[in-house]
A and B are shown apart, each in its own frame.
Chain A
Amino acid sequence: SAVISQKPSRDICQRGTSLTIQCQVDSQVTMMFWYRQQPGQSLTLIATANQGSEATYESGFVIDKFPISRPNLTFSTLTVSNMSPEDSSIYLCSVELAGATYEQYFGPGTRLTVT
């Protein structure tokens, strides 16, 4: 298994500002993902964080709005830029351990409120 921490756990931000969320894993993993979970909704994949290269974004998400870094195999950041109230959501980091079963382990999430 893997233990994942995220910082901050929650924040209240003003529109037009940016917030960077950190994700730290206690072991080296190959796959890291960033998800958004809006209130009462399922998970929407934002992007796959690639170590040492640009993230792979899903349809509807762009690098200018959600820049992602992954400088090594245990750490990644997601920035929510130029925020609006529509960005209020829970942001989740997850990792996938190598092996045949491809299960994911999730961080506790960052609850973001934009006013």
Chain B
Amino acid sequence: GNSVTQMEGPVTLSEEAFLTINCTYTATGYPSLFWYVQYPGEGLQLLLKATKADDKGSNKGFEATYRKETTSFHLEKGSVQVSDSAVYFCALSDRGGSYIPTFGRGTSLIVHP
């Protein structure tokens, strides 16, 4: 079956530091990959996506590249802000296999001033 593995949190950084949150996946087909963000007290929002190998998704300074050879979709940002403090979820949707979307366990990011 499909699965998504994320690095455990919390990740604690100072403002303007570089961020990497690792995500690897297992899928039976050719999945689309996503990063969602959940701010405190809110639902999840789509942050970025990539639909095929070597695609790079980007939004709000965040980037992630779909690496089929390493089955990874790591989230990066060059300079984090306090307002980026949230929980980040890696996810996949695989129409070649089960249609059920699969989420990672989430990684909490805390950014200090």
Residue B101 at the A interface, CB < 8 A? yes
Interface contact A103-B43, CB-CB below 8 Å: no
Size bracket of the A interface: 20 to 34
Chain B: minimal CB distance from A1 (Å): 8
Residue A42 at the B interface, CB < 8 A? yes
How many contacts between A and B, using CB within 8 angstroms? 53
A interface secondary structure, majority: strand
Interface contact A100-B51, CB-CB below 8 Å: yes
User: Could you tell me the distance between the alpha carbons of A5 and B103 in the complex, rounded to whole angstroms?
Assistant: 22
Interface contact B42-A42, CB-CB below 8 Å: no
Chain B: minimal CB distance from A48 (Å): 8
Interface contact B104-A101, CB-CB below 8 Å: no
Q: Decide: A92 near B101, CB < 8 A? Known: A42-B106, A102-B95, A103-B49.
A: no
User: Could you tell me the distance between the alpha carbons of A31 and B93 in the complex, rounded to whole angstroms?
Assistant: 13
Interface contact B43-A106, CB-CB below 8 Å: yes
**Per-residue 0/1 for A88-115: is the Cβ within 8 Å of any B Cβ (1 yes, 0 no)?**
0000101010001111111111000000
**Per-residue 0/1 for A32-45: is the Cβ within 8 Å of any B Cβ (1 yes, 0 no)?**
01000000011101
Partner of A103, one of B34, B89, B104: B34
Q: Decide: A42 near B43, CB < 8 A? Known: A100-B51, A102-B32.
A: no
User: Could you tell me the distance between the alpha carbons of A101 and B31 in the complex, rounded to whole angstroms?
Assistant: 9
